[in-house]
Structure 1
Amino acid sequence: MKPLTSAMSKMKTMIVATGLIATSISFGASAELGYPEKEELKFGFIKLTDMAPIAVAYENGYFEDEGLYVTIEAQANWKVLLDGVIDGRLDGAHMLAGQPIAATIGYGTKAEIITPFSMDLNGNAITVSNEIWEQMKPNIPKMADGRPVHPIKADALKPVVEKYIDAGKPFNMGMVFPVSTHNYELRYWLAAGGIHPGFYAPHKGDTSGKIDAQALLSVTPPPQMPSTLEAGTIYGYCVGEPWNQQAVFKGIGVPVVTDYEIWKDNPEKVFGITKEFSEKYPNTTIRLTRALIRAAMWLDENNNANRPAAVKILSQSNYVGADYEVIANSMTGTFEYEKGDKRAVPDFNVFFRYNATYPYYSDAIWYLTQMRRWGQISEQKSDAWYADVAKKVYRPDIYMAAVKSLIADKLVPASEFSSLKGEDGYRSPQTHFIDNIVYDGTKPNEYIDKFDIGLKAKDKL
């Protein structure tokens, strides 16, 4: 173990009751933060580059600065990871943003999971096989130098899917989990191009998500995506890095669109813990959040100057375990769509900029709208219901307690969080979607009704 730092030796002794911290930020005096009630912790993750804040908090000693002695353990898949947090085998984990939300409303495993920390923005892409790419290319406008014009919309894929359907062949695609961002982003992209990705009907016992589907989506664990594509089991997939760039390096597929192009600066993963853990160990909860905030800041500071060092960490076998060059392709400000077609995408991975770490209620509500759009939520819910669920799961009060204590301890400058002053948990209406539909988190039912493909707010299968 590394020795405790001077920051740890200056720990205060008063316990903070997280439930009493105001959501809106002010940088005045705050309650003093006490010792962690639980010091030895085990965190889980899936082998994706967006687990980086956990790895960096460990490797840079930020957890130990907080008096936390952490073990980090890769998990086989998202269900195993979620079950580990629920049954206490894991104290917390890198989670799909939809997992705590789905657990709270009882879709799948029922449990009270919260998040005090949003781990990143962007970071995913949709990749198709070389064969599908060759069939899509005639439908895509070209730039003066012959390269495809981006963003590439699913309009270019639609005639390909229709050809498969006419031939009686299912058009299979992969995503990582039914409540993953990847599932909703892939569905969003397909539907925006006129391709129906199918409905769920849990009230009828159907959780396949394939009712009325033109493209059939199924679950594949992230590290297995390239090999499943290469085997021809699926024709395309949506996954996080480095598994899109891996397809480019192996010469088996082409990433056609990033989630940054589907929804600019979209929320991706969160750090999840049980509500019981946060209430039993309030200081520990704040302290682990402090460590993750510092890690996120380090990842983005000085125009991503630390990213090469982060890539070196992530390439270790105990973290992501992919080659340095594969991880660096997206983590250092570029993205390679086709072999040789590398373009600047400086915000492909965002860990701190644009308030990336703040758990916005409106982010949670977006996931709920997509669950309703595709039938995972079977019946209409009121706007107030969406807001209430978001507030149960996303905990900006804990996040702000961590921020205020970091500022009080002079570990971070208040200026880094000035844009959060007076924050109410709702982003301004967001306009940068591939279909140009505006999202306002305060009006979820109105938003659901804007889509041509998908259930309307009042519909029921």
Structure 2
Amino acid sequence: MKTSSSRRTFLKKSVLAVSAALALSSGIYSTSAMALGEPEKPDLKFGFIKLTDMAPLAIAYEKGFFEDEGLYVQLEAQANWKVLLDRVIDGQLDGAHMLAGQPIAATIGYGTKANVITPLSMDLNGNAITVSNKTWEAMKPHVEMEGGKPKHPISAAALKPVVQQYKNEGKPFKMGMVFPVSTHNYELRYWLAAGGLKPGFYAPEKGNTAGTLDADVLLSVTPPPQMPATMEAGTIEGYCVGEPWNQQAVFKGIGVPVISDNSIQTNNPEKVFGLREDFYTQYPNTTIRVVKAMIRAAKWLDEENNKNRPEAVKILSKPNFVGADYKVIANSMTGTFEYEKGDKRSEPDFNVFFRYNATYPYYSDAIWYMTQMRRWGQISEYKPDSWYTDMAKKVYRPDIYKMAVAELIKDGVMQKSEFAEVMTTDGFRGVQNDFMDGIPYDGSKPNAYIDSLKIGLKGQDKL
């Protein structure tokens, strides 16, 4: 849609002041602290996976927010998460819609070693766990009912006797997730473990990267758009994925979503925008302008009680973005979610892009993902609490975020009051009591949290 012939002119500003960057990274906030220069690299290519939570990229593109920053962006769908990450690392992509675990894993050296950062969280929530019709019928006698309908949230304890029956018959019970360091993997594992099922361990030092050691449920990787067909073929009995691929199972009549990730943890941090650290070093003005555009897009998606969501769904349904049917995407993006066929419930926060400080890259969010990596063996050895904090600060970059916000406020596009909380935070959310099993999480005490979880590695445990 956007071409160089349609580029907008903008006022040339002075080069980014180093002192301002240092001031903001130290937590000092002033809307006049910096003067942002022109983008050093205006022509950019960003990658994404065909999921509704790539919306901030699509909206920043379609509504001209990138062009307002002098940026001329190509958005390109990628085959899977590994291809996407590899192409960011080798420079074929300038940045991408990423799983929160991808920049973290790359930086700590799990998989491909590279310094990847995130200056922006793209959304909260947006995932669900779906099971096949056959599995749902077997689970249903163990699900508590309320007013003739299943009572939510549904615990994996209802799945436990189904898995046991498979064991009795000598058959493996298989489920899909999208990538080993995906939010979906950790959410599915959390749900299973909270219900008393073991999702298996990784042992990278022994060459075992399947994550199925000592597992009651065998988890494997399936790309998001292929989830419904893979389940329909009987290869897996269920999966955890983002939208629209849970609602697609409902529309096709092949499966039933049993829980959304917002019910596993309220306002669960989801995707991030990821780019190489050296990209930011080389192109700081460009990076800040990208973040500005995406914050504006996130606000547009949520403003006035999601009034723009129908337009967003129309954009996302285009084949060059998500490419699913309008009705399938609208089922979650417009504030409802359908579980069992006909059981449509109001879920206004199923997708959150700006509310609840959704765009801010909290250190404690990064640390939670690392606690799950340690819990399931991807981090194979004990690490002190300070290690988790240090790694989080390498990857999550609120200093860049704050510079972008300062510019948005100076431009008159957004208000200081919209960022009052995050501009004074130390990057930690405090104690969170919003997980389905009631176990509190304190990002400043990761080892105490790991040890409090019933199933998983603890302390000095090694496989």
Residue in 2 that maps onto 1:9: 10
Once the 2 structures are TM-superposed, how far is the Cα of residue 15 of structure 1 from its aligned partner? Answer: 1.9
Counterpart residue number, 2:212? 210
Choose which of 174, 177, 180 in structure 2 pairs with 1:175.
177
Which residue of the other structure, out of 95, 105, 121, is the alignment partner of 1:92? 95
Question: Is structure 2 residue 74 aligned with structure 1 residue 71?
Answer: yes
Q: In the TM superposition, what is the alpha-carbon distance from 1:91 to its structure 2 partner?
A: 0.2
For 1:193, which of 192, 195, 202 is the aligned residue? 195
User: Using a 3 Å threshold, how does the CA distance of structure 1 residues 45 and 344 change in structure 2: closer, same or farther?
Assistant: same
In structure 2, the partner of 1:430 is: 432
- C-alpha RMSD over aligned residues: 1.1
Q: Of the candidates 352, 359, 362, which is equivalent to residue 350 of structure 1? A: 352
1:45 counterpart residue number: 48
What is the number of residues matched between the two proteins?
Answer: 458
Q: Does 1:336 align with 2:338?
A: yes
Instruction: Determine the C-alpha separation between the residues in 1 that align with 2:264 and 2:58.
Output: 28
Contact residue 116 and residue 396 of structure 1 kept, 8 A: yes
Unaligned ranges ≥5, structure 2: none
CA deviation map 1:107-134 (0-9, x unaligned): 0000000000000000000000000000
Structure 2 residue 34 is the aligned partner of structure 1 residue 26:
no
Q: C-alpha separation between the residues in 2 aligned to 1:184 and 1:38?
A: 36
Q: CA deviation at 1:22?
A: 2.5
Q: Aligned partners of 1:9 and 1:227: how far apart in 2? A: 48
- Write the distance in 2 (CA, Å) between the matches of 1:28 and 1:279: 22
For residue 113 of structure 1, the aligned residue among 108, 112, 116 is 116
| Contact 1:23/1:396, CA 8 A, preserved across alignment | no
Residue correspondence of structure 1 range 43-442 to structure 2 within 5 A: 43-144=46-147, 146-442=148-444
Q: State the 1:4 CA deviation.
A: 4.5
Greater displacement, 23-32 / 332-341: 23-32
CA–CA separation in structure 2 for the residues paired with 1:26 and 1:147: 50
Distance 1:86 1:16, change over 3 A: farther
Deviation at 1:421, TM superposition (A): 3.4
Cα distance between partner residues in 1 of 2:174 and 2:86: 28
- Which residue type is aligned with residue 255 of structure 1? P
State the TM-score, normalizing by the size of structure 1: 0.98
Q: Offset of 1:9 from its aligned partner?
A: 2.0
Give me the whole-angstrom Cα distance separating, in 2, the residues matched to 1:453 and 1:29: 50
Contact map agreement 1:46 1:75 (CA 8 A) in 2 = yes
CA contact (8 A) 2:243 2:332 kept: yes
Question: Residue by residue, what CA displacement relative to the aligned partner does 1:147-171 show, whole Å, maximum 9, x if unpaired?
Answer: 1000000000000001101110000
Match of 2:447 among 442, 445, 448: 445
SS in 1 for 2:272: strand
CA distance in 1, matches of 2:12, 2:461: 54
Separation (CA, whole Å) in 1 of partners of 2:455 and 2:346: 32
TM-score by length of 2: 0.97
